[in-house]
Structure 1
Amino acid sequence: MTMIETKDLTFAYPAEEGKRSEPALRGVSLGIEKGSFVVVLGHNGSGKSTLAKHMNAVLLPSGGAVYVEGMDTHNQAMLLEIRRRVGMVFQNPDNQIVANVVEEDVAFAPENLGVPPQEIRRRVDDALEAVGMSDFARHAPHLLSGGQKQRVAIAGVIAMEPECIVLDEATAMLDPHGRREVLDTIHRLNRERGMTVVLITHHMAEAEEADRVIVMNDGEAAMDGTPREIFAQVERLHELGLAAPDTVELMQRLNRQGEHLPLTAITVEECADALYRRFGAEGK
């Protein structure tokens, strides 16, 4: 089943006075399957964040259409329902945290939706447990680390019980440890709860465990496939101003020197195994 579908989606931001508006999205047509983990990659200005903001009607198409479980985002009457189905997590967690206590922050959205108090309590406890932050329920958010704050922001979205969560560069401001915390959290939500995840990022390594990778370039979906299919096309990625993961770049460099190593070995373990099989025997 399709969770989100875009049909010939075009979008242009309002132009500055005296300037012509350039499209940020140019005829993007794709479907996001329910329960899938999709990573959208691209350099700055490629259109990836603009695409993300169309997935729960933060932005509306200039042309074409976006459907969330068949609901047209242009339909004002369906807006609340669309945003209940698709939750957004943005780059800076400080901009999403609104309360002085973690559990109150997580309760904020369900309260605004008119959810009964008993149900809010259940949802808050459930959401904090899901992101591994139950022990911090009574803490002040501003005392938390960046990764912890972002996990609280994710809990606030989970408390709305969406079917899909879209993370727009949600790891960009985090250190490697914070990034790992957030990635582990969303992978667990996808695996254990069947939640559809769309992760917008410029970190190649974050795409290794995805079901699917979409590469945006100049407002178009330039590449679309599994991580192994996408990252094996090193030259094409370079043309788009992107690098493959370090493991694949290493293999490619060795292949240029006459080796025949698999560009589909994308994880560190797979890379090490391939290198050992090729060079290990020679070192004995």
Structure 2
Amino acid sequence: MEFIKAENVRFTYDEPDAENPEAPVHDVLKGISLSIEHGEFVALLGHNGSGKSTMAKMFNAMLTPSAGKVFVDGMDTADESKTFDIRRRVGMVQQNPDNQLVASIVEEDVAFGPENLGIEPHEIRKRVDEALKAVDMYEYRTHAPYKLSGGQKQRIAIAGILAMETDCIVLDEPTAMLDPRGRAEVMETIQRLNREKGITIILITHYMDEAVQAGRVIVMDSGEILTQGTPREVFAQVELLKTHKLDVPQATELSFRLSGAGCKMPQCVLTIDECVEALEPLLSGKGASA
């Protein structure tokens, strides 16, 4: 069932100059149309300036279109009377977890959102406990957030969104400031919430290996959708992505280069395990002929 729908969305940060109406206006989004279903896990890719973060902010009415429409669960994001309801359905997790933590105790931080929604105290207690358990941080509920690792802080930020009982979580490069362990913790949490709780996930990332874990990938370039599809469909288009200065997963890159060198490789290798499986016959054959 359709949850988020964008119809020919345009957005500009620069309004036309009244004294110089001929001056160029910088369009960040140039007629984007897309839809996201309930329970989907979608990765939104693109290099800096492609418009992906601007598009993400449309999903919870942080920004509204200069032209076109965005609907969340049937509600028009341009309707200010619906903003509160939209943000109860779509929560956003930013890149730097330190910018989202507001309390000196973990459980108080997670309770901040529900408190501002006017939820009853006994219900807040229940939501906070459930949210912390969902991100495997319950045992840290009385700890100080500043003492936690980057990955743990980001999981607390996610718990704060969960406690508001949103249907969708938009994550804007949530692992950009984390080490590999922290990245793995956050991605495992995201996958589990999508798989077990049916929460719609929209992940903005520069890491192609994270995008591979999504059910669908949307690639943006210069304010437009370049291509979209399953990870295998998208990353099979190596030459197209490279033409637009976009990366592919490392395993895909290696496979592409080996195929170009004359080695028989599958059409699109996405993971290290798939790459190893594809290489084993080649390596064993080479060893046998030596």
Bin the TM-score by the shorter chain. Answer: over 0.9
Contact 2:255 2:268 in 1 (8 A): no
| Other structure's SS at 1:103 match | helix
DSSP 3-state at the match of 2:133 = helix
Partners of 1:135 and 1:51 lie apart in 2 by: 36
Partner of 1:88, secondary structure, is strand
Residue segments in structure 2 that go unaligned for 5+ positions in a row: none
| Aligned residue among 120, 134, 138 for 1:116 | 120
CA shift for structure 1 position 277? 2.3
1:40-79 alignment runs, 5 A limit: 40-79=44-83
Once residues 20 and 150 of structure 1 are traced to their aligned partners in structure 2, the CA distance between those partners, rounded to angstroms, is 39
Q: Which residue of 180, 183, 187 corresponds with 2:187?
A: 183
Q: Please give the secondary structure, in 2, of the residue aligned with 1:128.
A: helix
Q: Give matches, 1:22-101, under 5 Å.
A: 22-101=26-105
Separation in structure 2 between the aligned mates of residue 280 and residue 10 of structure 1, nearest angstrom? 54
The structural deviation recorded for 1:280 is 2.0
Secondary structure of the corresponding residue to residue 45 of structure 1: coil
Once the two structures are TM-superposed, the CA of residue 226 in structure 1 deviates from its matched residue by 0.4
Counterpart Cα distance in 1 of 2:37 and 2:264: 35
Aligned AA (2:53): S
1:121-132 correspondence to structure 2 within 5 Å: 121-132=125-136
Counterpart contact for 1:231–1:263, Cα < 8 Å: no
Percentage of matched positions with identical amino acids: 56
Q: Structure 1 264/62 Cα, relative in aligned 2: closer, same or farther at 3 Å?
A: same
Runs (5+) with no aligned partner, structure 1: none
User: Which residues in structure 2 correspond to 1:134-283 (within 5 Å)?
Assistant: 134-283=138-287
Q: Letter of the aligned partner of 1:10 in structure 2?
A: R
Q: Which residue identity is paired with 1:79?
A: T
RMSD of equivalent CA atoms: 1.3
Alpha-carbon distance between aligned partners in 2 of 1:280 and 1:236, rounded to the nearest angstrom:
33
- State the shift of 1:240 in Å: 1.3
CA distance in 2, matches of 1:14, 1:145: 39
Q: Is the 8 A contact 1:102 1:136 kept in 2?
A: yes
Post-superposition Cα deviations, 1:176-230, rounded to whole Å, max 9, x if no partner, equal 1111110000100000001000000111110112110000000001110000011
SS in 2 for 1:224: strand
Q: CA deviation at 1:257?
A: 1.1
Q: TM-score when scaled to structure 1?
A: 0.97
Per-residue CA distance 1:51-91 (angstroms, 9 max, x = gap): 00000000010000100011000111111110001010001
Q: CA–CA distance in 2 between the matches of 1:16 and 1:93? A: 35
Residue 156 of structure 1: how far off its partner (Å): 0.3
Aligned to 1:6: 6
Q: Runs of 4+ in structure 1 displaced over 6 angstroms?
A: 16-19
8 Å CA contact retained: 1:248, 1:263: no
Displacement of 1:96 after TM fit?
Answer: 0.6
Amino acid at match of 2:63: L
| SS of match in other structure, 2:218 | strand
Kindly state the Cα deviation for residue 15 of structure 1 after the two structures are TM-superposed.
5.8
Following superposition, the deviation at residue 171 of structure 1 comes to 1.1
> Which amino acid is the alignment partner of residue 156 of structure 1?
G
Distance in 2, Cα, partners of 1:124 & 1:95: 20
The number of residues matched between the two structures is 284
After TM superposition, give the deviation of residue 279 of structure 1 in Å.
2.6
Amino acid at match of 1:161: E
SS in 2 for 1:258: coil
SS of 2:25's equivalent in the other structure is coil
